[in-house]
Amino acid sequence: MGRDVEQGAFSREDRVRYRQKVRRCLDVFALMLDDFGFDADRPMTGLEIELNLVDSAAEPAMRNDQILADIADPLFQTELGQFNLELNAPPRLIEGVGFADYEQDLRSSLSRADERAAKSDAKIVLVGILPTLTERHLVADNLSTNERYRVLNDQIVGARGEDIELDIRGVERLQTHTDSIAPEAACTSLQFHLQVAPDSFADYWNASQAIAGVQVAIGANSPFLYGRQLWAETRIALFEQATDTRPDELKAQGVRPRVWFGERWITSIFDLFEENVRYFPPLLPICEDEDPVEVLHAGGVPELSELRLHNGTVYRWNRPVYDIMNGRPHLRVENRVLPAGPTVVDMLANAGFYFGLARGLAEADRPIWSQLTFSSAEENFHAAARRGMDAVLHWPRLGDVPVTKLVLDVLLPKAAQGLDRFGVAPAERDRLLGVIEQRCRTGRNGAVWQTETVWAAERHRGMDRDAALHHMLQRYAELQRGNEPVHTWPVD
């Protein structure tokens, strides 16, 4: 939901008009899927990285407005919390040395932004949840000043009608409540975009759902929240709970949550947009002037603004995207399951694994979703978020298998085949998938490094938990700048 919003109060008429407009957009979208020319000749990819700002004491730095002004680069934008930024990498092809180009551009952009942030006594950290965040940081007053975040907060809290409960049971337990969506700002993610043709969208979305658990297990990097060690990827549970518009009664009735894995394999992208309209009331009922029917009949490309805005307030872990670039519409799978960090090379290794594996499975002779139940895919996702590298997942013909063995024996070769189909240079393919391989062989990802470093600080340095977390984050930030993959980081 990246658009600016000025309106803060919505009438009954606003909601009725918006609902009618969304359904009109949905009808036009169905017509477009039948016979419109979508851009899919050379599928582009994209990356979005959510960033954290910390001060010299490793505390959250609530200065994104000032730092954005100093950066003065449209690739950087606000995010929910004042200690957050977002970096949107320009879309590109990954054939040849596309990943190396991504790496060079990302490192250059982050280095330049870090230099500007230093003027405000801040630095950028790539991590799924900032380990030094406490409840006093995640309050409504620390939401970014852009009005759209205030409006979204009011609509989510208003829809729920009561405080939001957080109850996460992991290695330790966190049980608290909040009167705003500010805790969602702790969730800083890495998002991949993959452009696909309409007739293959379902295959890529289904493949992405099937491997979401594997991605999370291997890429987990969010073990701490409010000083407690919870899940390997606590971000999953926190995001699901911090934006839940349902009081207990609606949960008991089976009303779907807005942060949603889904409930079935699909046959078309239309299935997902139709579910959005059928199951989710509007949060931001803002209508534009465009009549999509008239635009379509005149031979134009409808913006479908209401449908897109509504889609942006349903937080699927793999989200369908309709967008327009250079006057041509296209479709994308937005893969949202992973945390940011630990390094640029780690994130690009995650990207190579995702893009390659999604294509390898989407184009397989026998679809993985014809062998794996949807409920098993969802159970894998949450088991992976809880256990990370130690997760045991269910996989067709293998039964319950350690995720590291599944990746090494089955999935890495498929990812390599997928990257070959994209035309990725063999050296780049092997370099990035080699990072994933070594994570599996060493059993160390970002979450493991964080927890081992905190344990070592507590046991060998005599630090309490708060001091250990600050020590760990300072060391994490130092190692991150070296851009060596996290499985090689020392624990000290």
pLDDT over 90 (residue 161): no
Whether 437 maps to a domain, the answer reads yes
Whether 305 maps to a domain, the answer reads no
- Tokens 């729920």 sit on residue: 160
Measured CA to CA in angstroms, residue 373 lies from 369, 378, 386, 411 at distances of 7, 9, 20, 18
- Please, what is the Cα angle at 459 between 186 and 127, to 5 degrees? 20
Per-residue confidence at 8, pLDDT binned at 50, 70, 90?
A: low
Q: How many angstroms separate the CA atoms of 349 and 67, rounded? A: 29
Predicted confidence (pLDDT) per residue in 459-478, tens digit: 999 999 999 999 999 999 99
Spell 296-320 as b/e; 16+ CB within 10 A means b. beeeeebbbbbbbbbbbbbbbbbbb
Mean predicted confidence (pLDDT) in 311-323: 97
- Please, what is the Cα angle at 383 between 334 and 317, to 5 degrees? 15
pLDDT over 80 (residue 1): no
pLDDT for res 42: 85
Whether 278 maps to a domain, the answer reads no
pLDDT over 60 (residue 383): yes
Host domain of residue 435: 36-261+317-488
CATH number, residue 109: 3.30.590.20
Q: How many angstroms separate the CA atoms of 97 and 247, rounded? A: 49
pLDDT over 60 (residue 57): yes
Tally of domains within the chain: 1
Predicted confidence (pLDDT) per residue in 197-208, tens digit: 999 999 999 999
Q: How many angstroms separate the CA atoms of 196 and 19, rounded? A: 28
pLDDT for res 209: 98
Whether 68 maps to a domain, the answer reads yes
pLDDT over 60 (residue 2): no
* pLDDT > 70: percent of the chain: 98
Whether 291 maps to a domain, the answer reads no
pLDDT for res 318: 98
Whether 16 maps to a domain, the answer reads no
pLDDT over 90 (residue 41): no
Phi, psi dihedrals of residue 37, rounded to the nearest 5°: -90, 95
Whether 227 maps to a domain, the answer reads yes
User: Which H/E stretch holds residue 400?
Assistant: strand 399-402
Whether 362 maps to a domain, the answer reads yes
Mean predicted confidence (pLDDT) in 238-254: 92
Provide the β-strand partners of residue 169.
173
The alpha carbons of the chain give a radius of gyration, in whole angstroms, of 22
- Please give the model's pTM, rounded to 2 decimal places: 0.96
412 vs 159, more confident: 412
Strands 189-196 and 45-54: antiparallel
Mean predicted confidence (pLDDT) in 412-433: 98
pLDDT for res 158: 87
Per-residue confidence at 7, pLDDT binned at 50, 70, 90?
A: low
Measured CA to CA in angstroms, residue 348 lies from 112, 164, 237, 247, 448 at distances of 19, 35, 24, 39, 19
Instruction: Judge if the upstream peptide bond of residue 91 is cis by omega within 30 degrees of 0.
Output: no
Predicted confidence (pLDDT) per residue in 254-290, tens digit: 999 999 999 999 999 999 999 999 999 999 999 999 9
Q: Average pLDDT, whole number, for the chain?
A: 95
Per-residue confidence at 226, pLDDT binned at 50, 70, 90?
A: very high
- Please, what is the Cα angle at 303 between 301 and 305, to 5 degrees? 165
Altogether, the residues listed in the chain come to a count of 492
